[in-house]
Chain A
Amino acid sequence: MPAESTWTPIATASGGSAGTNVFTFSSIPQTYTDLCVMFYGRSNFSANTVSVYGWVNGQTGTSLWGGTQLIGDGSSVTSGRYQNSSIYFIGQMPGATQTANFYANGYMYIPNYANSTHFKTIMSRMSNNQGVNSTDGKLFFYHSLFRATDPITSIGLGTDGNTSFATNSMATLYGIRAA
């Protein structure tokens, strides 16, 4: 029987262990058309909400990221920008002081990641619904640009204050093939 599937899990990273401050996917095969990262997470940082952000190819010292955001909080929708950043923004997840058992979930699509002539674009969604008793819930939609033509060979995900992901947090990297 046949072929590897069109949507293939490549690797999974999990939180909970002491010192799991970063989810890293390294040595990403260059044989797919697009990538997708599915994320489910909570932070151990002492706050109600904690930012989630990412970087590629180990490059955290550059200023090559920019992006546009659309955010809804249940009563209004706003748009904003960031530019010349060393990381790309994905959204927020609950922190340690948020009601227990709430996790955020989201995904990132990275099309044409192995291309060597185009800048890299990431489209991401994050849902951080904290329930009806919280005003901290938000829905995030980002479109980010990495102004480098290098193929993406690694992806890292991190949080505010470089603190750890809580137990049961995870991120899975998938490869997507086109015909």
Chain B
Amino acid sequence: MSVFLQPIYTQTAPGNSSEITFNNIPQNFTDLLIVVSARAGIAALSDGIIAKFNGSVSNFSFLSVEGNGSAASSGSSATTANIARTNGSTATANSYASSVIYIPNYSRGNTKQITVSTVSETNATTTFMNFYSIFWNDRSPITSISFPQNSGTNYTSDSTFTIYGVSNIYDTGTPLAPTLGAVTDLGGVASFAFTPNDTATGQTADYYSVQDIAIMGTPAYGNVSPITFPITTGVTYNAPVKAVNVIGTSTSAMSGSLTSYNNFASIATQVITSNTSSIVFRNIPQYYSHLQLRVYARGSTNATSGYPYHIYNGDTSANYSSHFMTGNGITTAAAAYVNSAQPLSMNFPCANSSANIFGYAVIDIMDYTSTNKFKTSRIMNGWDNNSTGNCFVFSHVWNSFAPISSITLVGWDIANFVSGSHVALYGIG
């Protein structure tokens, strides 16, 4: 660790994006310092950049002091916070707003106080300079920071965002090389296990990284083992784990050639051994493109069949809609559940159906990490009893831009999922 600023990463806006994100922020600095130089397409002299930590714009409040060249003022918000400024398209050409953001104790279990100074200086009479004091009422360590442009317009292609780590321990030497462990194909990502060798005082690593030595590309960071490194199917990688501090970098042994053809990864399975009213998958990894749930189930209620449903991120509000079409061997039918808190999404045999019969559902959830889409899933489902049965096709939507981090299957109409039921969650790269 060092008293010097340790550059972690710089992103230059590609020109077609209104949000820049730093993920997997190393956790073993003391503080973070972020420098932003930005201009955006908004038809204005200046506009704001919204504060967003760990994928959330919630639990922020802020105070500001502002000068605009003719007056000084103060403002506040109890619900959202601006964390920086951009110049807009009507500002003097080639001028960019400059912001410095300091986040102390970002990786601790305390609420966060952030200080910001930002200026939007041009040749105009009216310009803007602000001091912000931002409070994030959340004890989570900050692992990702996003910079969504307030009006949703794209940053210009020379806008830059640089994140630095700051620590309060002085390093005297390069960290010792970590020992590479197992490298595991998880389908779309590879897991690099390693053992730190931080035994010498003053030679500890600030963070660890994985980056292919030939392709280079975006590194993956972490401060504990393992580090998950995104991989593309059919591409060959060869990478070490690096230990980094301000003095230098040391490198583990190479992984050796790593080529994955596995784009369908098993994340977790829950096997039901007694009546269970709900089944929950939490902490869903965010590095896949899509998810698939395979549900093999039977219900406990005293009926021939019934309808469970699924919700996301613990949201129990009427923030869902679902539709289905079905055939029962005699007739076809369809139904809709709009703006519902119980968005029916499956149908399974229950206690009054013949014994040893279970139903099956395959739920495909596309783009589950998108912050620009409501979350849509498609469900194929059915069961047969030899004398009765049903084929169902469901559609289901969650009216939220939040990435899906948890999925709950609620028994509801079937009361409980019975022993012998199991649900498997897969990630698709």
Contact = CB atoms under 8 A, between A and B. Distances in A.
B387 A77 contact: no
A147 B385 CA distance: 9
A153 B252 CA distance: 46
Given A1-B183, A68-B327, A177 B389 contact: no
Contact of A68 (B183, B380, B391): B391
Interface stretch (A22-30, A113-121, A165-173): A113-121
Given A2-B185, A68-B390, A179 B356 contact: no
A121 B360 contact: yes
A141 interface: yes
A6 B393 CA distance: 25
Given A79-B331, A125-B380, A149 B356 contact: yes
Task: Pick the most buried of B357, B381, B384: most chain A CB atoms within 10 A of its CB.
Answer: B384
Given A79-B391, A142-B391, A69 B424 contact: no
A68 B356 contact: no
A155 interface: no
A69 B257 CA distance: 48
Measured as residues with beta carbon below 8 angstroms from the partner, the interface class of chain A is: 35 or more
B266 interface: yes
A6 B332 contact: no
A178 B266 contact: yes
Interface string A119-151: 101010100000000000000011111010100
Nearest to B387: A83
Contact of A3 (B185, B256, B325): B185
A147 B325 CA distance: 26
- Which bracket fits the contact residues of B? 35 or more
A83 B388 CA distance: 9
B327 A1 contact: no
Contact of A119 (B356, B387, B388): B356
Q: Tell me what chain B mostly uses at the interface: helix, strand, loop, or mixed.
A: strand
Contacts of A123: 360, 362, 380-382
Contacts of A80: 327, 329-330
Interface string B257-280: 111011011111100000000000
Interface in A34-80: 34, 66-71, 77-80
Contacts of A33: 269, 424
Contacts of A2: 182-185
A86 B326 CA distance: 25
A112 interface: yes
A141 B259 CA distance: 37
Interface in B107-150: none
B327 A79 contact: yes
Interface string B274-306: 000000000000000000001010000000000
A7 B264 contact: yes
Interface string B355-395: 01111101000000000000000001111111111110100
A58 B294 CA distance: 27
A135 B264 CA distance: 37
Nearest to A85: B386
Interface string A82-97: 0110000000000000
Contacts of B256: 1
A101 interface: no
Which of A1, A34, A69, A78: most chain B CB closer than 10 A?
A: A1
A95 B424 CA distance: 38
Nearest to B362: A109
Given A5-B261, A111-B294, A141-B393, A66 B384 contact: yes
A78 B389 contact: no
26 contacts: A1-B184, A1-B185, A1-B257, A2-B182, A2-B184, A2-B185, A3-B184, A5-B261, A6-B264, A68-B389, A70-B325, A70-B332, A70-B393, A79-B326, A79-B327, A80-B327, A109-B294, A118-B358, A123-B360, A141-B380, A141-B382, A142-B382, A144-B384, A145-B357, A176-B294, A179-B268
Interface of B: 182-185, 187, 256-259, 261-262, 264-269, 294, 296, 325-332, 356-360, 362, 380-391, 393, 420, 422, 424-426
In the complex, the 4 A-B pairs of residues with the closest C-beta atoms, listed nearest first: A79-B327, A143-B382, A81-B329, A68-B389
